Structure 1
Amino acid sequence: MSATASPDPRTARQTRLTILLACVGVFAAYLPVVGVSTSLPVIQRALDASTVELQWVTDAFILPTAALLLTCGVLGERYGRKKVYLAGLGVFCASSLLCLVATDVVPVCVGQALAGVGAAALLPSTLALISHVCPDHGARARAIALWTASLGLGLTLGPVINGLIADHLSWRWIFLPAVVIGLVVVLAGAFLLEETRSSRTQHLDVPGQLLAIVAITGLVYGVIEGGSTGWASAEAMVAFAVSAAAFLAFVLVELRSAGPMLDLRMFRSGAFSGAAFVMAVTLFAQVGLVFGVSEYFGLVHHASTLDIGVRLLALNGVTVLLAPFVGRLMNRVGPGLVLFAGLVTAALGAFGVCLFHAESGTGSVVLIIAVLGLGIALAIAPITTIAINSLPRGLAGTAGAANSTLRQIGSALGPAVFGAVLTARTVAALPGHLAASGLAPADQGHVSGLVSHVGIQAGAFLHLDTPASTGQAMSAYGASFTDALHVCALISGIALLVAAAVAATLIGLRRPAPAQAPATTAPATALTPEH
């Protein structure tokens, strides 16, 4: 074919359809994530669920997602990305149907776990589908920016849609939109997507799969338990020990395997290693701080589910609006520079949360989190683009799975660590603020004991004998919570600046050279770019 030949219309159409279906798939997967979290008070009242049970409603999604991402990435490369994509959507629809008919909190947790399995299949398969139809790095960067925007759109619209549904219908109907979207996309994908798989031989590597699942499950479970029962608790310590042992065994097995599920030679690439670290730290800082800000809206401002969702539009909505701009900007100045600028901007937004007070107006609060959202919007698409483009195209599914695994691990660490900080600092600061409030000593002891026993959620039902004393208690609680939120903001801002320094060092700020297969003594086909 000559260099001036016009593109094949059928190929261009197939590319557009593949990108569209990949974006809609990841949108469906992330639609209920934040939406379910902001709906927990409604679910608690309807099902009379305990605090521990409510925590597992969200954690049941995170655990299988993080544990199975690498496995699903390998399955897609070996058996076909379209098959894994459609299977993920099918499981996701089934999970939403189970939650839709649930009459107890246990089926909701099981449904959330199945949704996590579906998300684990969708994330690497959608990235691999995009990488296959976009061999050009510039086109791939623009497509990944749209993919990131679709993920952000799900996170953005989920709380708003769930808030509208929860205000007018039963809580269970919050799962209906995901079912409808999922079924439509399954039917469209079955007819419109073309099957693709890696051209290199991909072994299942069962020992590696099992060890990876145990290592990631142990880590995430340990974080969950540590955040709720204490980092020195027996459950958390055992989980961390099992995770460390499994991770060490995983590395040894992968280094000796003729067909490893995760080719550790990928980490010889400074760009890939840097992107992996930055992804985990960025999601830790972002999701952890957003968790704290959401709690601030609910417990200090007493906003409804819908109001919280609308306020969070300033955070995730920026990602959606800036997606086309970010894709073009990456192609013009390079993803490394865009990533660095995004991380620094996000850090400034995080530090801005230190200006929050119990009486802060909605306008100033939303403006500050919009700065955080702007930084995250500039950072997330470049991280994913760098991770995918730093390796040969045949490793797109594995690279995408590793990238998404770190996304989920960071997402799990954030709320657990920041939740523990919020609780500890609120409890520590509360006696001083109560004493300054003029509340009677007996009431001060009652409020301190309640918050120490229940945790920060006590702010949702903190009522004393008189309206005046309740107002004094709530004022002291609000001041204590915002003190704790300021500590979380400092942690988040510092973490983002560390990520920016790592990005500048390992990834660089210049436009990267095309990826080359690492030197190796393994067979030449192991890391050969896909054609």
Structure 2
Amino acid sequence: MPATPTVAHSPPAHEPRRAALTALLACIGVFASYLPIGGVAVSLPTIQQGLSASTSDLQWISDAFILPMAALILTFGLIGDLYGRKKAYLVGLLLFAAGSLTSLTASSPQQIWVGQALSGAGAAALLTSTLALISHVYPDFRARAKAISAWAAALGLGMSLGPLVSGLVLEHANWRWIFLPGLVVAVLATAIGALLLEDSRSAHGRAIDIPGQVIAVVTITALVYGVIEGGESGWSSTRAVIAFVVAAVGLVGFVVTERKVASPMLSMSLFRSRAFTGAGVVIALTLFAQVGLVFSLSLFFGTVQHLSALQIGWRFLALNGITVLLGPVAGKLMGRVAPGLLLTIGLLVTGLGTLWLNTLDAHSSGGTVTPILLVIGTGLSFVMAPITAVAVGSVPHHLAGMASAGSNTLRQVGGAMGPAVFGVILTNHTVSSLPSTLAQSGLSTTDQHQVTAAVAREGLSAAGHLGLPAPATGQALGAFGESFSSALHMCTTIGAIGMFVAAVVSSVLIGVRRHKDQAPTPVDPDTTGRHRRQEQARV
């Protein structure tokens, strides 16, 4: 028996340290990519005032980051497989840094859109490359599950610290400086990763799928644009209808193209796995509800309760911080309990907590809000790590990069739809119910018409400058808060329904019992044979 195969199957002595370093850098990368999501969310009221931005402008500030993440994840996953995950990781950090610098110098909402888009493209590269790097150095399911739980905790840490860091910045400096921390982390991670990170790839005959990428970008963008435009101009408006038609045709075209192309960016064969399909649906619904709720609550806390960004950040720490604390617990439980069972329980708890948000009103204190957000965060702790492990672990090892890219694409599509849909609901329901609440506020008819016209014309941003005398302003803001609270309850109800539907999908498609391919074994069975020898020969 030749010596080479034996050496190939025996890990070198320094591999545990190398694997730990790779996991650490992966966590830093995903931490950086998620800093802006929470940080920008709590800063929206301040940005709105600083740039006189409309609600639609704010929706695009959120979606300008998430859309490129959704549209480019598959491409960067493929690029990482073909040319190296380290290269994709470094490119992602550089794009993220360029986007942060662009937003840091912004003088208009449009420039923030450009900066957010660049940062979102970088985040797409980081999400796929970091998961693929972890999957490569941890072929064993149990070790991989622990590493992925740390990855999910780093993601949650980014979302947790983002609001607090942005809040501290806004207490002492201009809102533009909220983009500086992400820039610093990206630059430092680039320097460390370029020197120390080990590269890996898994080409397996794959090639760049240009038609698939173009169709994916057009489809996802058209879908989100249609939702935002429909809420702004009406669902029957020409632009909204055209956008939805383009999205529907694009989706069909993408499936047909990926089935026919020689080297698809997302093989439709992945969806033969019930677990992978279930994981995709669950993560899309979860991120739809989670990101949409963060967007809605940020506006509620800032516009209705008039909290500062730092105060909003402390409130969101209850939601995101608990996921960081409980993430390792979820990782350990995945070695003993079926991931599908953890998922289903976590989704049910999250759904119940989201329904509990319906008790909030304009006068709800932090003591009322914090327990609710802790319940939601606890539920999410048992969703994020298991769902990622299921998606990556439900396919052969050499397809981990494509699986993580596909899962993250669905994750970001759901995340992009959250602010789009919830933003439309907040604006439309607030505007439609405002005349009724104003009529009960004691305002004069003239003042009622002035407030209604201002909100109808400018959206939710009008609440900051109604142009009424002090007593009337207080009455108008009270009516506005009541209408906004009602709109928030509609959003939270929709979010809870999404969580409950995801729980049903998880129990049916993923199951609540451990499958054979999820059992923790010393060696991943999918890495044996020809694929494993080819993988190690490349690396």
TM-score (norm 1): 0.93
Matched to 1:367, the amino acid is P
Q: How much has 1:515 moved relative to structure 2?
A: 7.1
Q: How do residues 42-441 of structure 1 correspond to structure 2 at under 5 angstroms? A: 42-49=46-53, 52-198=56-202, 200-441=204-445
**Deviations 1:460-482, CA, capped at 9 Å, x for gaps:** 33452232x22222222222221
Coordinate RMSD, CA, aligned: 2.4
User: Residue 468 of structure 2: SS of its match in structure 1?
Assistant: coil
Task: Measure the CA separation in 2 of the matches of 1:390 and 1:34.
Answer: 30
Aligned to 2:463: 459
Picking from 492, 496, 500, the partner of 2:499 is 496
Pick closer, same or farther for the CA change 1:49–1:281 going to 2, 3 Å. closer
Out of 254-263 and 20-29, give the one that drifted further. 254-263
Q: How much has 1:64 moved relative to structure 2?
A: 1.6
* Residues 62 and 116, structure 1, Cα contact 8 Å, conserved in 2: yes
**Deviations 1:88-122, CA, capped at 9 Å, x for gaps:** 11111122222333444443322211111101111
Task: Measure the CA separation in 1 of the matches of 2:136 and 2:20.
Answer: 12
Aligned to 2:485: 482
Pick closer, same or farther for the CA change 1:371–1:56 going to 2, 3 Å. same
Pick closer, same or farther for the CA change 1:262–1:425 going to 2, 3 Å. same
User: Residue 211 of structure 1: SS of its match in structure 2?
Assistant: helix
Matched to 2:402, the amino acid is T
Task: Measure the CA separation in 2 of the matches of 1:253 and 1:526.
Answer: 26
Task: Measure the CA separation in 2 of the matches of 1:502 and 1:316.
Answer: 24
Task: Measure the CA separation in 2 of the matches of 1:21 and 1:439.
Answer: 58
**Deviations 1:52-72, CA, capped at 9 Å, x for gaps:** 544433322122221111111
Matched to 2:214, the amino acid is L
Task: Measure the CA separation in 2 of the matches of 1:492 and 1:283.
Answer: 10
Task: Measure the CA separation in 2 of the matches of 1:465 and 1:528.
Answer: 77
Task: Measure the CA separation in 1 of the matches of 2:126 and 2:104.
Answer: 21
Task: Measure the CA separation in 2 of the matches of 1:189 and 1:261.
Answer: 26
Pick closer, same or farther for the CA change 1:402–1:185 going to 2, 3 Å. same
Aligned to 1:473: 476
* Residues 292 and 485, structure 1, Cα contact 8 Å, conserved in 2: yes
Q: How much has 1:503 moved relative to structure 2?
A: 0.5
Q: How much has 1:43 moved relative to structure 2?
A: 3.4
* Residues 59 and 420, structure 2, Cα contact 8 Å, conserved in 1: no
Pick closer, same or farther for the CA change 1:510–1:501 going to 2, 3 Å. same
Aligned to 2:526: none
Q: Select the structure with the greater relative contact order (CA < 8 A; seq sep ≥ 6).
A: 2
Task: Measure the CA separation in 1 of the matches of 2:225 and 2:431.
Answer: 25
Q: How do residues 7-26 of structure 1 correspond to structure 2 at under 5 angstroms? A: 8-26=12-30
Pick closer, same or farther for the CA change 1:12–1:63 going to 2, 3 Å. same
Q: How much has 1:430 moved relative to structure 2?
A: 2.3
Out of 69-78 and 43-52, give the one that drifted further. 43-52
Task: Measure the CA separation in 2 of the matches of 1:398 and 1:304.
Answer: 41
* Structure 1 residue runs without a partner (length 5+): 517-523
User: Residue 331 of structure 1: SS of its match in structure 2?
Assistant: coil
How many residues were matched structurally?
Answer: 521
* Residues 398 and 531, structure 2, Cα contact 8 Å, conserved in 1: no
Picking from 485, 507, 522, the partner of 2:510 is 507
Task: Measure the CA separation in 1 of the matches of 2:103 and 2:458.
Answer: 27
Aligned to 2:524: none
Q: How much has 1:47 moved relative to structure 2?
A: 4.4
Task: Measure the CA separation in 2 of the matches of 1:370 and 1:47.
Answer: 33
**Deviations 1:206-240, CA, capped at 9 Å, x for gaps:** 22222222222222332333343333322222222
Matched to 2:500, the amino acid is L
Pick closer, same or farther for the CA change 1:140–1:344 going to 2, 3 Å. same
User: Residue 119 of structure 1: SS of its match in structure 2?
Assistant: helix
Task: Measure the CA separation in 2 of the matches of 1:104 and 1:283.
Answer: 28
**Deviations 1:19-45, CA, capped at 9 Å, x for gaps:** 000000011111122212322343344
Q: How much has 1:371 moved relative to structure 2?
A: 0.9
Task: Measure the CA separation in 2 of the matches of 1:305 and 1:84.
Answer: 34
**Deviations 1:284-324, CA, capped at 9 Å, x for gaps:** 11111222222211122110111111111111111111111
* Residues 421 and 488, structure 1, Cα contact 8 Å, conserved in 2: yes
* Residues 66 and 217, structure 1, Cα contact 8 Å, conserved in 2: no
Task: Measure the CA separation in 2 of the matches of 1:208 and 1:421.
Answer: 32
Out of 45-54 and 125-134, give the one that drifted further. 45-54
Task: Measure the CA separation in 2 of the matches of 1:487 and 1:224.
Answer: 17
Percent identity of the aligned residues? 52
Matched to 2:381, the amino acid is A
Q: How much has 1:262 moved relative to structure 2?
A: 0.9
* Residues 393 and 530, structure 1, Cα contact 8 Å, conserved in 2: no
* Residues 29 and 92, structure 1, Cα contact 8 Å, conserved in 2: yes
User: Residue 334 of structure 2: SS of its match in structure 1?
Assistant: helix
Matched to 1:292, the amino acid is S
Correspondence 1:447 to 2:451: yes
Runs ≥4 in structure 1, deviation > 6 angstroms? Answer: 524-529
Pick closer, same or farther for the CA change 1:351–1:70 going to 2, 3 Å. same
Out of 434-443 and 178-187, give the one that drifted further. 434-443
TM-score (norm 2): 0.91
* Residues 55 and 423, structure 2, Cα contact 8 Å, conserved in 1: no
Task: Measure the CA separation in 1 of the matches of 2:301 and 2:533.
Answer: 50
Task: Measure the CA separation in 2 of the matches of 1:362 and 1:529.
Answer: 56
Pick closer, same or farther for the CA change 1:526–1:230 going to 2, 3 Å. farther
Task: Measure the CA separation in 2 of the matches of 1:224 and 1:369.
Answer: 27
* Residues 63 and 420, structure 2, Cα contact 8 Å, conserved in 1: no
* Residues 392 and 528, structure 1, Cα contact 8 Å, conserved in 2: no
Matched to 2:142, the amino acid is G
Task: Measure the CA separation in 2 of the matches of 1:307 and 1:106.
Answer: 27
Q: How much has 1:7 moved relative to structure 2?
A: 7.4
Aligned to 1:520: none
User: Residue 58 of structure 1: SS of its match in structure 2?
Assistant: helix
